[in-house]
Structure 1
Amino acid sequence: MGKSILKDKSFAFAKSVVSLYQLLVTERKEFVMSKQLLRSGTSVGAMIREAQNAESKMDFVHKLSIAQKECDEACYWLELLFETGYLEQHLTHEISGKADEIIRMIKSAILTTKSNLTNKE
């Protein structure tokens, strides 16, 4: 299988989330929301990897849908961490921007796959 831009971007996003988690825990002493961000932010790439090994096109769509939801949840935690004073605006926007790009790519992949399924019927 060729190189996957979505796989690479989601992995880079996960690395950013891990770094941010380390900052939040060690310097900001925030342990609850940061853990939620870590969980949702790192599961995006894991679900995209699972989607690559899907048993069917519908399974592929399902796994990508879960990845999209996890990415959106990570955005929620980023926003909440910003609004409660744990994150600066530049960090929030930087990582949220990566998440938004991944969400757009996932949506596109889902729409293309669903369209291809419909055209085959």
Structure 2
Amino acid sequence: MTKEELKIRTKSFAIRTFKFLMAIEKNKAVDVVSYQLFKSSSSVAANYRAVCRGKSDSDFLNKLKVVDEEADESLFWLEFIKELEIDCDKIELEKLIKEADELVAIFSAAIRTIKNKFRN
């Protein structure tokens, strides 16, 4: 997957998450969870764009670690919504969980690859 394809994929994840949150159950507690998920999912996309503009290998790696953390946080909040059985589109929730999990796997693998490159 190219950098441009991954930019599109992360932005799509943020947009899909935002649309999902617009339709989710509304109350004070759910609003807090929704806000956290909105911040982390949009951060995946925004910070990946910053990764693509990394000034050095170490800058690239540090920014990529932020993206990985935000993707994992998004996965946490999506799983949290599922486990709390919050009223939402369950099919879209499962798709978002799958996408967040795949993004974490992609970014974690990239981090491992870069770290191995530094060691050699």
- Whether TM-score is above 0.5 comes out as yes
Task: Work out the CA distance in 1 between the residues paired with 2:3 and 2:70.
Answer: 23
Q: Which position in structure 2 is the counterpart of 1:54?
A: 54
Q: Which position in structure 2 is the counterpart of 1:96?
A: 97
Q: Which position in structure 2 is the counterpart of 1:107?
A: 108
| CA drift at 1:90 | 2.5
Aligned partner letter, 1:91? E
Q: Structure 1 runs of 4+ off > 3 angstroms?
A: none
Aligned partner letter, 1:83? E
| Counterpart secondary structure, 1:4 | helix
The unaligned stretches of length 5 or more in structure 1 are none
Q: Which position in structure 2 is the counterpart of 1:77?
A: 77
Q: Which position in structure 2 is the counterpart of 1:65?
A: 65
| CA drift at 1:89 | 4.0
| Counterpart secondary structure, 2:31 | coil
Q: Which position in structure 2 is the counterpart of 1:7?
A: 7
Task: Work out the CA distance in 1 between the residues paired with 2:3 and 2:57.
Answer: 19
Q: What percentage of aligned pairs have identical amino acids?
A: 30
1:6–1:105 contact (8 Å) kept in structure 2: no
| CA drift at 1:17 | 0.8
The alignment's C-alpha RMSD in Å is: 1.6
How far does the alpha carbon of each residue in 1:17-60 deviate from its partner, in whole angstroms, 9 at most, with x for none? 11011112xxx113110011000011001111111111211111
1:51–1:60 contact (8 Å) kept in structure 2: yes
TM-score (norm 1): 0.85
| Counterpart secondary structure, 1:31 | helix
Aligned partner letter, 1:53? R
The unaligned stretches of length 5 or more in structure 2 are none
